[in-house]
Amino acid sequence: MITSEQHEKLRGWFAGRLPDDLFESLVEVTVDREEITVVGRIPEPGLAEGASDAEKEAAAQARIQEFRERTRDDRVAVAREAEHRFGKKVSWGVECGGERALFTHIAAPVMTRLRQPERQVLDTLIAAGVARSRSDALAWCVRLVQRHADDWLTELRDSLEHVQRVRAQGPDATPRDATPDEE
Query: Helix or strand or coil: residue 35?
Result: strand
Which positions of the chain have pLDDT values less than 70? 1, 173-183
Burial class (CB in 10 A: 0-12, 13-18, 19+), 79: middle
Q: Where are the domains of the chain?
A: 1-108
Query: What is the per-residue pLDDT for 177?
Result: 46
pTM for this predicted structure: 0.68
Beta bridge partners of 36: 31, 90
pLDDT in tens, 130-171: 999 999 999 999 988 888 887 888 888 888 888 888 888 888
The whole-number pLDDT of residue 179 equals: 44
pLDDT at 1: 67
Compute the distance between CA of residue 18 and CA of residue 39 in angstroms, rounded to an integer: 12
End-to-end CA distance of the chain: 25
